[in-house]
Amino acid sequence: MRRIELAYQFTAREAVAPQGASLLRNPMMDVLHAVKSSGSISGAARELGLSYRHVWGQLKDWEADLGQGLILWERGQAARLTPFGEKLLGAERLAQARLGPQLESLRVELERAFTQVLSSDEDAPGVPTLRLYASHDHALTELVDFAAQRDGRESLHLDVHFCGSVDAIRALNEGRCNIAGFHAQPFSGAQTVTARTYRPMLKPGLHKIIGFARRTQGLIVAPGNPLRLHDIQDVARLQARFVNRALGTGTRLLLDELLGQAGLMPLDIDGYDHIERSHAAVALAVAGGTADVGLGTEYAARSARLDFVPLTDERYLLVGLKSSLDDPPMQRLLACLRSRDWQQRMATLPGYQPDHCGEVAAMKRLLPWWD
């Protein structure tokens, strides 16, 4: 078995990672991904800012070390990965997607630690911190970077721990965080699975809901949607291989909601117990052929270059303690969410739109099923 050693590096905040780069970078995987996306070694070299000779030499060294070919290339034809190269890249990307929430939390914590050391003594005390437990969401990851990069008098460190929606609200109620993030269908009825799950955890006199985003969830399918899947009934009828999310996640609640609406049971879904830990991992399971379909965000599908069948819009919401709304870190978060720059940035993400962003509201304002 090959040994894995982990590493990280400092980059300028404005530096842009190569397209398709993962949170935990590896030169070989970056090259394989670039060759696959560009169709040539020279194109991969340009994409990575390296010389053709350097990339060619790296590929030959890696092939010798692994004892397997990575690239199929003939003069006049597009370069492509060997079956072994495809499997290697697919396995690495899937592993990173499964660990994505934990890797993102680790990156944020390392950035916070080094910022405290590298900032001047005058600047360091001026950056407040909010501890946030939340369902994993790409817009929230973008918000972490955006809030940290604001003007010093407005910047905010979001100490994020990603978990399921139910677990996030539970962490807030147990005092383990300052704010929680969860998602739910805005127009579910009062007797739905979603309402029955969240209602006992949210207290009108204790909590306040903060608007954040509207995002699209649907079926993540292979390019061209070969099985012609259009809804959850098709998934059950055709016994398409499904990939699910873990118990306690908002997406698992959504699936159970859709099954109930269609008069279906978990046993009707082939793969109901096949679990992945993030939307990105669901998408990569479909891309890698271990599943035909999964339920997830449009952003995850587009990022993996898959097709997407929209099923529902949902609200991604934040919830905090009413007593903490006037605290300086919370005020900075609200100002950040209400800023035009942030809302314009969110609107560029596939499948996202600002939705009552930064608005502090009563339960029934943003959760109509509350009554």
User: Hey, how many other C-beta atoms are within 10 angstroms of the C-beta on 98?
Assistant: 19
Q: List 131's β-bridge partners, or say none.
A: 159
Place 218 in a pLDDT band, splitting at 50, 70 and 90.
Answer: very high
What's the CA gap between 355 and 358, in Å, rounded? 9
Closest CA to 368 of 203, 230, 134, 189: 189
Residue 16 has what pLDDT?
46
Residue type, 128: P
Whether the CB-CB separation of 255 and 314 falls below 8 Å is answered with no
What's the CA gap between 22 and 92, in Å, rounded? 10
Residue 205 has what pLDDT?
87
Burial of 328 (0-12, 13-18, 19+ CB in 10 A): exposed
Q: Which domains are present in the chain?
A: 27-98 (1.10.10.10), 179-371 (3.40.190.10)
Average pLDDT over residues 66-85: 85
54 DSSP 8-state letter: H
What's the CA gap between 254 and 193, in Å, rounded? 8
pTM of the complete model? 0.76
User: From residue 78, how far is each of 35, 223, 354 by CA, in Å?
Assistant: 9, 21, 41
Whether the CB-CB separation of 287 and 206 falls below 8 Å is answered with no
Summarised one tens digit per residue, pLDDT across range 333-368 is: 999 999 999 999 999 999 999 999 999 998 888 887
